[in-house]
Amino acid sequence: MLGLSVPLFFVQVYFLNYATDVLLVAPAVVGGLFAIGRLWDAVTDPIVGFLSDRTRTRLGRRRPWMLAALPLLMAFFAMLWMPPATLAGGRLVAWVGIALFGFYTAYTLYSIPHASLGAELSKGHHDRTRIFAVRHIALTVGIVGAFAALQFVQNAPAPREAARAVVFLFVPLAALILAIPPLALRERVEYQGRGSGRPLQAARDVWRNPHARLLLTVLFVEALGGATIGVLAPFLAKYVLEAPHAVALLPAFYVAASVGSVPMWVRLSRRFGKHPVWLFAMVGNGLAFGSTMTVGPGDVALTAGLLLVAGIFAGAGGAVSQSVLADIMDFDEYETGERKEGAYSAAAGFCFKAAAGCTVALTGFAIDAAGFVPNEQQTPLALWTLKGLFGGAPLVANLIGAAIFRGFRLDAAEHARIRAELDARHLADGDS
């Protein structure tokens, strides 16, 4: 996850700002490219998930995809941050569009099989929470690396050259990290060839699963608000707080709190259950973000404190949501007899990416409409738009998500019953 999260969040949290302030592309244009790229990325998720479920090789279902995606991911990441200086106008927009499409496609080719493999590692209700908690920690630590790179490039006297240096440093390191899972991990032999035989049927099975339908709706709504912190943190620091030096500092508080709180949420979920713990955390996260709408110039300490509180609550979702999704995959096997980790991981990826694409696009159009001018003093309307998107969107999204998640019914007792039935079937079929 370190190798995946640094490039993803470096693109997600900074490229909109880099493209507008450095490449001088209009925010609405970049926002539109992001939206199209992320929606394309979301469309490819179920395709890759289905094909990954059906793959049969000596290496397994997941690892061949990860190996094939690795060089493509690194190449398009480099292309995105290194457009030729001679490009301008429509040719520059075309370069950026191709690089975004290529990057997100390659990311899907690696990340969906990777997430699917993670869901297969354990069948235990609480073991899965620990697995995805550690995954969340690694992903979140990667965000720190992304913001460190952001701070380095943004503060450099020559941002283009600084971005090039980041690419030359990171690409070989990430390639080494991302080669480890497909080369070192092993897959469950008994899951080979048990994916759905038809892609549309697999998609229908996911949507017909009542637990999956509710969870995916919550993930989409929550991601609509959660994506704003990455997109708008550079704008908030530079234009609202008037403290560009805090671009990396502020998210660091959020990330550190999110990582540090994960062990607490793992223990609480074991004691009280995944559902009530995550429900409580959604409300807390939304209220903490909503409070950031009150900040103004110089309020770095206050903003950092509010993001620290928000990060503590965010740790619950990072640890619990994917664990809940893995339990839902068992319910699907109980109903259909198939193992569709790829299809379900793709559905979750679709929700996150489609929501993030919508958020980036809406952000670009909203700040453009509010009169945002790069590298200038902003109007009160533009400043309130930035604060409203950064704090208000997560507040509304989390409260709506919590209201929906109240109806979730797949608890530990129900999962134990389903798991016992599946184990009995496997024993009768002669599975190890």
Q: Give the number of other CB atoms < 10 A from CB of residue 341.
A: 29
Q: Give the number of other CB atoms < 10 A from CB of residue 152.
A: 16
H or E element, residue 62: none
Give just the sign of the alpha carbon dihedral 99, 102, 104, 110: negative
> Is residue 160 predicted with pLDDT exceeding 90?
no
Amino acid at 67: L
Q: pLDDT > 70: what percent of the chain?
A: 96
Count of domains observed in the chain: 1
Contact 139, 9 (CB under 8 A): no
Q: Residue 174's closest CA among 235, 131, 110, 232?
A: 110
Please give the average per-residue pLDDT across 362-368, as a whole number. Answer: 83
Q: Residue 315's closest CA among 281, 291, 366, 338?
A: 281
Contact 32, 364 (CB under 8 A): yes
H or E element, residue 412: helix 412-429
**Distance, CA of 93 to CA of 271 (rounded, Å):** 52
Q: Please report the pLDDT score of residue 284 as a whole number.
A: 96
Instruction: Give CA separation, 388 vs 15, 144, 292, in Å.
Output: 21, 24, 9
**Distance, CA of 302 to CA of 147 (rounded, Å):** 20
Q: DSSP H helical segments within 22-62, as ranges? A: 27-54
Q: Please report the pLDDT score of residue 196 as a whole number.
A: 62
Amino acid at 184: A
**Distance, CA of 1 to CA of 43 (rounded, Å):** 22
Q: pLDDT > 90: what percent of the chain?
A: 31
Q: Please report the pLDDT score of residue 197 as a whole number.
A: 61
For residue 115, give its domain range.
2-429
> Is residue 330 predicted with pLDDT exceeding 50?
yes
CATH code, domain with 389:
1.20.1250.20
**Distance, CA of 266 to CA of 264 (rounded, Å):** 5
Q: Please report the pLDDT score of residue 299 as a whole number.
A: 93
Higher pLDDT, 117 or 306: 306
Report if pTM > 0.85. Answer: no
pLDDT tens, position by position, 38-54: 678 767 888 888 888 87
Q: Please report the pLDDT score of residue 194 as a whole number.
A: 59
pLDDT tens, position by position, 204-213: 888 899 999 9
> Is residue 296 predicted with pLDDT exceeding 80?
yes
